[in-house]
């Protein structure tokens, strides 16, 4: 497979359009236009769909969804330790764990560049879909909605991670100085959030409900996913009433009765699922690259590298609540028998492992069939509860919190005041969403990061660690157009 790469700054914005039912790809650099001849190959329903399929495919990449993402979102937090063995640093996972990272820490460049690569694929799809006039117009409109949802998703990752970032909203043109500036100049986070909101509102208008998709399209972005993600965005912006309003538009979903069932193969895309990255592990290497492998139990009888191990602090947080069912569906322990009968040996290298990353069928392969659960109905309930409580509607918030607790088979909350309910909701988010890539960002947005890190033996520096450093390669390439985050 021949590939062509043109690097514009450290964004490394490459395009990749996959042909359906084929192992071949056409690579279009971000600074190039697709020729009329090449575009004609895609001027049909299958070709139009392939533009957007290439965006989803980006989420299967190692840099996008695996080692760097796990390190930045989990290992940094109080939910996870580096794991593995003392001598295996995982490139920089020891640095992330200790919060001693710098602009040269590799995981940040992987996170930054992979998301902009995905954004470029969105921009290319949105540029060329209107030109595919032989494709069904309703299909093209839906695909444009999917591209906007996915672009908003990636910008949400970037703005939560780095704060101010470049806003690349179209395919750059070769030699256009304004487009070079666009890629190398940070825009303030308020502009990024406004762009995300616009994309999600337009996506919600264009996308169908989950029930309207056929079996072949399971896992695609839906109207419910757009509303749920927008509710989450509003939560981060403290736009409480708007968050409630979006939660109210997320309909047709329900909680899975047994928490563990969510994370089995049989639980993928179920009634609770709002948006998941679709794994499809097989011998050809399709599926999410090594997501299961890097987090699997390490040592005799193990199947993985043993990174991103649950902390004792997290284990004890479950135990203190009497939350043993949810704990045992989240954390693998030495000597434990898993749901498929696999026994984790007592001589495993680490005490705990991430159960939510476990793949029953693909423990011997690098790629995995495990889906990454990114948005679930339980989180929508907790978003609405938090927003209502902040609006002073505490009595309306408590039943929503209790719905999540009751599914976990733990007692209803005893909290009743606004301040106590706030803390109860934050604790519930930690236990319900552990290892679903939100804990670090939740700690930062709620102001808990310094105390939570201290309780886990880490030093969170207020005024610095709220955002990660921009990759040094980007800052160097920007040549003064963009400054580094403070104190890095």
Does residue 445 form part of some domain? no
> Picking from 14-28, 167-181, 426-440, which range would have the lowest pLDDT averaged per residue?
14-28
Mean pLDDT on 385-399: 98
pLDDT band at 174 (very low <50, low <70, confident <90, very high): confident
Closest among 433, 431, 392, 394 to 415, alpha carbons compared? 394
What does pTM read for this prediction? 0.93
3-state secondary structure of 275: strand
What does the pLDDT look like over 18-47, one tens digit per residue? 323 222 223 344 445 677 778 899 999 999
What does the pLDDT look like over 352-361, one tens digit per residue? 999 999 998 7
State what percent of residues in the chain have pLDDT above 70: 92
Tokens of 147: 């591209």
Does residue 109 form part of some domain? no
Tokens of 408: 């976990």
pLDDT at res. 282: 52
Sign of CA dihedral 463, 466, 467, 472: positive
Tokens of 156: 């949400």
406-412's contacts with Cβ under 8 Å and 24+ in sequence apart are 407/255, 407/256, 407/257, 407/259, 407/378, 408/259, 408/323, 408/325, 408/326, 408/432, 409/325, 410/321, 410/322, 410/323, 410/326, 411/322
Give Cα separations from 481 to 119, 167, 179, 383 (angstroms): 21, 13, 13, 37
pLDDT at res. 481: 97
DSSP H helices, 280-417, are 291-295, 312-320, 324-330, 377-390, 394-407
Residue 307: which H helix or E strand, with range?
A: strand 307-310
Strand pairing partners for 248?
none
DSSP H helices, 163-254, are 177-184, 189-206, 223-236, 240-248
Closest among 337, 335, 363, 362 to 350, alpha carbons compared? 335
Does residue 110 form part of some domain? no
Does residue 315 form part of some domain? yes
What does the pLDDT look like over 63-103, one tens digit per residue? 999 999 999 999 999 999 999 999 999 999 999 999 999 99
pLDDT at res. 5: 24
Tokens of 253: 């979903």
Mean pLDDT on 194-208: 98
pLDDT band at 300 (very low <50, low <70, confident <90, very high): confident
Tokens of 289: 């690259």
pLDDT at res. 360: 87
pLDDT at res. 32: 52
Pairwise CA distance, residues 7 & 30, whole Å: 9
pLDDT at res. 281: 59
User: 336 CB contacts (<8 Å, ≥6 apart)?
Assistant: 328, 343, 344
Buried b (16+ CB within 10 A) or exposed e, 7-17: ebbbbbbbbbb
Q: What is the mean pLDDT of the chain?
A: 91
Range of 366's domain?
289-370
pLDDT at res. 367: 80
Does residue 166 form part of some domain? no
Mean pLDDT on 354-377: 88
Does residue 365 form part of some domain? yes
If one compares 41 and 409, the residue with the highest pLDDT of the two is 409
Pairwise CA distance, residues 349 & 316, whole Å: 20
Does residue 294 form part of some domain? yes
Question: Which residue in this structure is represented by tokens 């337009």?
Answer: 202
**Angle in degrees, 0-180, between the axes of helices 312-320 and 418-432, rounded to the nearest 10:** 120
Q: How many domains does the chain have?
A: 1
Pairwise CA distance, residues 122 & 62, whole Å: 19
CB 165 within 8 A of CB 187: yes
Residue 145 has pLDDT above 60, yes or no: yes
Residue 13 has pLDDT above 60, yes or no: no
**How many Cα atoms are found within 13 Å in the side-chain-facing hemisphere of 56?**
24
Does residue 319 form part of some domain? yes
Q: Phi/psi at 307 (nearest 5 deg)?
A: -85, 165
User: 274 CB contacts (<8 Å, ≥6 apart)?
Assistant: 210, 222, 224, 225, 228, 250, 253, 374, 375, 376, 377, 380
What does the pLDDT look like over 232-267, one tens digit per residue? 999 999 999 999 999 999 999 999 999 999 999 999
Strand pairing partners for 288?
368
CB 397 within 8 A of CB 299: no
Residue 319 has pLDDT above 80, yes or no: yes
Closest among 318, 373, 308, 232 to 73, alpha carbons compared? 308
pLDDT band at 285 (very low <50, low <70, confident <90, very high): low
Buried b (16+ CB within 10 A) or exposed e, 350-363: bbbbbbbbbbbebb
């Amino acid at each position: 497979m021949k590939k062509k790469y043109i690097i514009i700054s450290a964004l490394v914005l490459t395009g990749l359009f996959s042909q359906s039912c084929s192992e071949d790809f056409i690579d279009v650099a971000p600074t190039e236009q697709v020729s009329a001849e090449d575009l004609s190959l895609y001027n049909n329903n299958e070709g139009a769909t392939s533009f957007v399929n290439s965006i989803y495919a980006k989420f299967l990449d190692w840099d996008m969804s695996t080692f760097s993402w796990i390190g930045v979102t989990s290992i940094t937090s109080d939910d996870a330790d580096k794991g593995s063995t003392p001598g295996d640093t995982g490139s920089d996972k020891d640095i992330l764990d200790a919060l001693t990272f710098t602009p040269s820490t590799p995981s940040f460049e992987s996170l930054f560049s992979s998301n902009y690569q995905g954004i470029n694929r969105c921009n290319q799809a949105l540029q060329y879909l209107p030109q595919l006039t032989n494709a069904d117009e309703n299909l093209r409109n839906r695909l444009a909605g999917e591209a906007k949802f996915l672009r908003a998703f990636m910008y949400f990752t970037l703005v939560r991670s780095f704060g101010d970032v470049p806003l690349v909203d179209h395919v750059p043109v070769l030699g256009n100085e304004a487009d070079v500036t666009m890629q190398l100049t940070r825009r303030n986070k308020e502009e990024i959030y406004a762009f995300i909101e616009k994309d999600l509102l337009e996506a919600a208008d264009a996308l169908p409900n989950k029930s309207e998709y056929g079996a072949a399209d399971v896992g695609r972005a839906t109207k419910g996913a757009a509303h749920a993600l927008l509710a989450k965005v509003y939560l981060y912006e403290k736009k409480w009433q708007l968050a409630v309003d979006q939660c109210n538009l997320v309909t047709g979903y329900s909680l899975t009765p047994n928490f563990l069932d969510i994370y089995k193969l049989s639980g993928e895309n179920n009634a609770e699922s709002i948006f998941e990255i679709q794994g499809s592990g097989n011998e050809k290497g399709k599926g999410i690259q090594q997501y299961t492998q890097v987090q699997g139990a390490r040592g005799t009888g193990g199947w993985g590298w043993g990174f991103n191990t649950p902390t004792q602090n997290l284990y004890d947080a479950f135990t203190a609540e009497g939350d043993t069912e949810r704990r045992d569906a989240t954390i693998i322990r030495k000597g434990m028998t898993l749901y498929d009968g696999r026994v984790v040996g007592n001589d495993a290298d680490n005490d705990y492992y991430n159960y939510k990353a476990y793949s029953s069928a693909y423990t011997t392969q690098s790629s995995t069939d495990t889906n990454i659960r990114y948005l679930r109905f339980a989180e929508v309930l907790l978003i609405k509860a938090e927003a209502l409580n902040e609006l002073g509607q505490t009595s309306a918030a408590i039943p929503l919190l209790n719905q999540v607790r009751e599914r976990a088979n733990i007692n209803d909350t005893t909290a009743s005041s606004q301040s106590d309910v706030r803390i109860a909701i934050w604790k519930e988010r930690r236990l319900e969403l552990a290892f679903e890539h939100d804990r670090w960002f939740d700690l930062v947005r709620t102001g808990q990061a310094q105390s939570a890190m201290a309780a886990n033996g880490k030093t969170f520096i207020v005024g610095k660690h709220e955002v990660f450093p921009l990759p040094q390669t980007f800052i160097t390439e920007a040549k003064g157009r963009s400054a580094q985050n403070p104190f890095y």
